[in-house]
Amino acid sequence: MNAFLPVTFLSLKVALTATLVLIPTGTFLGWVLARKQFPGKTLVEGAISIPLVLPPVVTGYMLLILLGPKGYIGEQLAILGIRLAFTWQAAVVAAATVSLPLMVRAVRLAVEGVDEELEDAARLLRASETGIFFSITLPLAVHGILAGTILSFARALGEFGATIILASNIEGVTQTIPLAIFTYLNQVDGEGKAMILVVISICLAYLSILASAFLSRKFRHAET
């Protein structure tokens, strides 16, 4: 049993870190797309959404081209002494990239659902634009942020294709639950071990669904 703990722990670490990165960035991008008009908006929308429709392996390969040791950004990072590819942080980048569109989409829909007239009312009560964002828009869109967070966390936990390309499948370093299941299934007698990880996966997924239901009920009660 002890062999499965580090894998589970690493998976949670990667998924949680990716989610923590996504909450502010996804919320900001979702709000920008819902409320702001700017040239090239369609291009930005496309760039954010493309991992949703691309095979994750392709997304991973594109990330490797950018961030790998010989990649455009990877070379710059190397000069600073930072090596990203094939580390657990690379697994975070891969997971965050494929989960980002889910987060942005959920936040965007929720922000679009917030009546802009309430924001106008706040403007006439002297609220600054930042103040309106934090005191009106964000609290009224919180269910969308929550839904996006849970969805992103679950997606990050299950991430496989982009991770195996950008972070590789290194035991104890980048081997998350899905990668470990893949490895065990390729071993002659690995099926039993894989099954244990499958059960752990189901438990984690179920827990996040319960957490989501609990939190959304709690926020809904706050408005009545």
Partner 1 sequence: MLKLDLSKTAGDFHLHLQVQVAPSFVSLFGPSGSGKTTALNLISGLAKPDSGEVFLGDTCLFSSSRRVNIKPQQRRLGYIFQESRLFPHLSVQQNIQFGLNLTPAPERRFTSGEIVEICGLQALLNRMPAALSGGERQRVALARAILAAPRCLLLDEPLAALDHNARLSFLRFLRRVHIDLELPILYVSHDISNVINFADEVIILDNGRVVGHGPPKSLLDKMISEPLVASADLSNLFEVRVDSHDPQRGLTLVASEKNEFTLPAISAGVGEQLLLNIPASEIILATSEPSGLSASNILRGAVARINRLPDRVFVEIDAGEKYTVEIVEATVQRLSLAAGKEIFLIVKASSFRRLSGL
Report the residue from 2, 39, 80, 117 that binds partner 1 according to the rule CB under 8 A.
Answer: 117
Report the residue from 47, 118, 170, 213 that binds partner 1 according to the rule CB under 8 A.
Answer: 118
Q: Does 215 interact with partner 1 (rule: CB under 8 A)?
A: no
Q: Are 168 and 86 in contact (CB under 8 A)?
A: yes
C-alpha dihedral sign at 39, 40, 45, 48? negative
Report the residue from 122, 156, 157, 204 that binds partner 1 according to the rule CB under 8 A.
Answer: 122
Nearer to partner 1, 55 or 131 (CB): 131
Q: Which amino acid is at 99?
A: S
Report the residue from 3, 44, 120, 187 that binds partner 1 according to the rule CB under 8 A.
Answer: 120
Q: How far is the CB of 35 from partner 1 (least distance, A)?
A: 15
Q: Does 189 interact with partner 1 (rule: CB under 8 A)?
A: no
Q: Does 140 interact with partner 1 (rule: CB under 8 A)?
A: yes
Residues in the chain: 224
Q: Does 224 interact with partner 1 (rule: CB under 8 A)?
A: yes
Q: How far is the CB of 167 from partner 1 (least distance, A)?
A: 40
Residues within window 41-70 making contact with partner 1, judged by CB under 8 A: none
Report the residue from 75, 139, 170, 202 that binds partner 1 according to the rule CB under 8 A.
Answer: 139
Q: Does 171 interact with partner 1 (rule: CB under 8 A)?
A: no
Q: How far is the CB of 218 from partner 1 (least distance, A)?
A: 13
Report in angstroms the alpha-carbon separations of 89 from 21, 75, 174.
Answer: 12, 17, 9
- Interacting residues with partner 1 (CB under 8 A): 115, 117-118, 120-128, 131, 135-136, 139-140, 222-224
